Amino acid sequence: MTLSIKIVRVRVKTMCKIGEVFEGYCNGFFGSDNYGKKMVEGVGTDWIVARDASNTLCLATFKNRKQKDLYVRSWRETVSSN
């Protein structure tokens, strides 16, 4: 039972949240010319929709949830280190 609780905690920490802000290139997932801030407006299992500073919607698609969570974690580290 403890293992199940631990897994849930890890998953919650890696989930992308609506309203979360990412900054910079984001490995090109939101477009190769999009370097500014992006605010998340929608999240699915393997996709994220964000709005950039010019009010344009940007879609990032991933192979699966694991890949999405991996990149979200790295983008958070980039924002928190600035």
Report the predicted TM-score, pTM, of the whole model to 2 decimal places.
Answer: 0.78
- The pLDDT assigned to 69 comes to 94
Position 81 confidence tier, pLDDT thresholds 50, 70, 90: low
- The pLDDT assigned to 7 comes to 45
Residue 47 Rama label (left phi>0; alpha psi -120 to 50; beta): beta
User: Do 38 and 26 meet the contact criterion of CB atoms below 8 Å apart?
Assistant: yes
The counts of H helices and E strands in the chain are 2, 4
Q: Does residue 34 register a pLDDT over 50? A: yes
Q: Does residue 5 register a pLDDT over 70? A: no
Q: Does residue 12 register a pLDDT over 50? A: no
